Amino acid sequence: MRRFHFIRTSLLAPIVIVGLTLHVGCASQGATDDRSHSSVTLPSSEAKALGPEHERSLRDLSEKVFGIKWSGRVLAVSDRGFEILTDQVTTLSYRPTGNAFFVQNSNASLSQPSFDGSDGDYIKRGNAILAGLGIEASEIAEAKVLQHFVQVGIVDPDGKNSRVEPPKKDRRTLLITRAVNGVPVFNSRLIMDLDPSGQITSLEITWPKISPHVMEKVKLLQKAARADFKVPEQQFAELEAVEVGILHSPAASFVDEQAAAIRVIYHSKDPNIGKKAVAYLDETGQPVPMPKTMEVREPPKSPRNPNRQNEMSR
């Protein structure tokens, strides 16, 4: 009996709903479980217990908005700017300053069946979650249902014969993006996976309030982009798109920074290279510093030895 080695790949392909093509993706190799879109913050040794009222409020939100069904003892703590609820299976992390939420179910796996409702049901669920958090429907830029496929490659042990099975549909992921007054917010998003019963297995939302100062900067950049703005040339790439938008610190951050930027997208002159180059620039064409995830502290300076200094001066 001959033995075979199996190679698993995951692909994303277009899904069309209500006449719109929602997503086009590419194949990515590997057998990793990419359900974990987000970085869930778990309590550290410095965590402090949430007050009873605060815990009750966060728990009510988790049950009413996210539909979480807690089991057993629920730990409720505050830690490094995050508020966390966990029963050791399901974890909800909330970062108030960035209006960021994470939900993760540790029992979820790639082999588990995913949500079997329609794409429209998936999108309705995401919209309802955002509405439950007080987010205006006018800020939803686009809803995408990403269809994942799995593909198996079979290789003979001696490596002489191989074949690839046709792709098979796997789980789906919902992605909702954001725009404020028509201005895209590049980092803001909802991304979510559901199990067959509609319970959340993985979720990340980052949707901070945008500073008026940043919105004013957007207007300045829009004028610059419409005028004689010169896009930096790339030796091996050509200009594809120029768009003014907003950047902010990622969901899993310990600070909340925001900036307006002109996003410039280039595509390669070589058709065999599919990855696109992206630059974020100000009105003068200079790079915009990316919003930080944490404050960088300088290492403490070692104290000088006065005795050593006296010896050197002799």
In a domain, 156, yes or no: yes
Residues 240 and 136 in one domain: no
- CA 48 from centre of chain: 27
Residues 141 and 260 in one domain: no
DSSP H or E run through 254: none
Number of domains in the chain: 2
pLDDT tops 50 at residue 11: no
Which range is least confidently modeled, 33-42, 74-83, 118-127, 169-178?
A: 33-42
DSSP code for 52? H
pLDDT at residue 2, as a whole number: 44
pLDDT tops 80 at residue 118: yes
Beta-carbon neighbour count of residue 56 at 10 Å?
Answer: 12
| Structural domain harbouring 230 | 212-281
For residue 246, what are the β-bridge partners? 185, 260
Q: What is the rounded CA–CA span in Å between residue 26 and residue 42?
A: 32
In a domain, 175, yes or no: yes
pLDDT tops 70 at residue 23: no
- 111: pLDDT confidence band, cut at 50, 70 and 90? low
Residues 106 and 9 in one domain: yes
- Identify the residue with better confidence: 156 or 10: 156
Residues 146 and 180 in one domain: yes
pLDDT per residue as tens digits for the range 182-197: 999 999 999 999 999 8
Residues 247 and 144 in one domain: no
Per-residue CA distances from 22 to 91, 147, 301 (Å): 30, 10, 53
Residues 218 and 184 in one domain: no
Report yes or no on whether pTM surpasses 0.85: no
pLDDT at residue 42, as a whole number: 55
Q: What is the rounded CA–CA span in Å between residue 86 and residue 43?
A: 9
pLDDT per residue as tens digits for the range 223-252: 998 877 888 888 778 888 899 999 999 998
